Structure 1
């Protein structure tokens, strides 16, 4: 048990999926896992552990933004022995070639700052995904016929952005999408020698102003969860 996670020793699996929304964690656990048990309710940030094709998996809400995710990623790895952390969440597309409902597998994550910035001082650390997870996610997405993009994303400090000039430059430099957590997840995982990846569903578009209708979100997000699980276990999965 930690300050922010009420699970007992052994109740958290080595593989953890991390949606921002705790209710999405509940939905994903009840939809995709068997023998599900709620292992965390502290501060309403729900966490669950069950099995997927014979493998133990935890799904733990991270909250919104890098400071919140940093708390959970640190405690999951340091105190519960998590070795693989995969963010599953939504993002806003920043390229015309990226469409609503597409999946983005984040190779790198740029940011203005992260909670870990103080560790590096003058160094501009480049947070990146674990290649094995990334490769597995791309293969799983393609096998499902999901339109998938691989590349750099931007992890923002704020949701209500007031920097159209910065967005223009990121679009110019090929940044695929914006979200709020991956850069810190990749940095914390690197610090502790864990594997990390962000698999994201495009829910809205900064250029076209399209948005995924509410009634289509669960189906699209479900594909993302399956891709993340396949990436985590690959050929080890069995029925």
Structure 2
């Protein structure tokens, strides 16, 4: 457990409210509010800067926080860096939506991102003499799989794509990633995994399929905010 007293950044200003060592990170701040309102007890809001809502409470007696991150590697990387290096968070769990690019995936399927391939250049700042593999914390991944099994929730585990481009001028790009076995496309996991690895902490990305990209099927905005409850329940158990 870490204290936020007297600590703040231009983007996170807790005003002394504690941020727990384990935090759930949905892209949508309204999904953070939904979790706080429906799953947490003794909730206190710790952030509202730029409407990136953050809350700390308890789940089954354990302290846990939840905060939105916005969309894309730059936004996720900014918030996760500050949570790790300023506020001492140790376990960061992204809970997000994703577009399926494999035919055997269906709407509402749950995917654990064991790896996160990317077209982002975020890794260049680390000046590595080669190619870096973005992978989840095995500790969190193993625990999440156990929780899913206990709840009877089927999950797919594998490689996802964290893309900088929601609208890509190259219409063949996702088909090429699909041919490499990538399960889904999203926009944040790789940045989170890099920051966590460099900061020496744990990270995991849990996704719910919100779109079948090649079939042009999708969930609604409201469903993405409130209906992806299975992945929320799995993530909450990781506190």
Q: What is the TM-score with the length of structure 1 in the denominator?
A: 0.92
Distance in 1 separating the partners of 2:86 and 2:224: 33
**Over aligned residue pairs, what C-alpha RMSD do you find?**
1.6
**Which residue, 78, 101, 107 being the options, matches 1:100?**
107
Report the CA distance between 1:147 and its aligned residue: 2.8
**Which residue, 230, 234, 237 being the options, matches 1:223?**
230
**Which residue, 31, 41, 61 being the options, matches 1:34?**
41
Distance in 2 separating the partners of 1:188 and 1:218: 26
Which runs of 5 or more residues in structure 1 are unaligned?
234-239
**Which residue, 111, 118, 128 being the options, matches 2:118?**
111
Match of residue 7 from structure 1: 14
Question: What SS is found at the alignment partner of 1:167?
Answer: helix
**Which residue, 151, 165, 170 being the options, matches 1:163?**
170
Match of residue 236 from structure 1: none
Q: Residues 218 and 181 (structure 1 numbering): CA distance in 2 closer, same or farther, change over 3 Å?
A: closer
Q: How many pairs were matched up?
A: 232
1:66 and 2:73 are equivalent in the alignment: yes
Distance in 2 separating the partners of 1:54 and 1:171: 42
> 1:158-201: per-residue Cα shift (whole Å, max 9, x none)?
21123232211111111000000000000000001110000000
Report the CA distance between 1:9 and its aligned residue: 4.9
**Which residue, 194, 199, 203 being the options, matches 1:192?**
199
Match of residue 52 from structure 1: 59
Q: Residues 156 and 31 (structure 1 numbering): CA distance in 2 closer, same or farther, change over 3 Å?
A: same
Match of residue 187 from structure 2: 180
Report the CA distance between 1:219 and its aligned residue: 5.9
Distance in 2 separating the partners of 1:205 and 1:216: 15
Deviates more, 1:105-114 or 1:149-158: 105-114
Deviates more, 1:138-147 or 1:88-97: 138-147
**Which residue, 125, 130, 146 being the options, matches 1:123?**
130
Distance in 2 separating the partners of 1:43 and 1:183: 24
Which runs of 5 or more residues in structure 2 are unaligned?
1-7
Distance in 1 separating the partners of 2:226 and 2:15: 32
Match of residue 237 from structure 1: none
Q: Residues 150 and 69 (structure 1 numbering): CA distance in 2 closer, same or farther, change over 3 Å?
A: same
Report the CA distance between 1:17 and its aligned residue: 0.4
**Which residue, 151, 155, 178 being the options, matches 2:158?**
151
Question: What SS is found at the alignment partner of 2:86?
Answer: helix
Distance in 2 separating the partners of 1:191 and 1:102: 30
> 1:82-120: per-residue Cα shift (whole Å, max 9, x none)?
000000010000101111100000000011124332213
> 1:108-136: per-residue Cα shift (whole Å, max 9, x none)?
00111243322135521111000111111
Match of residue 210 from structure 2: 203
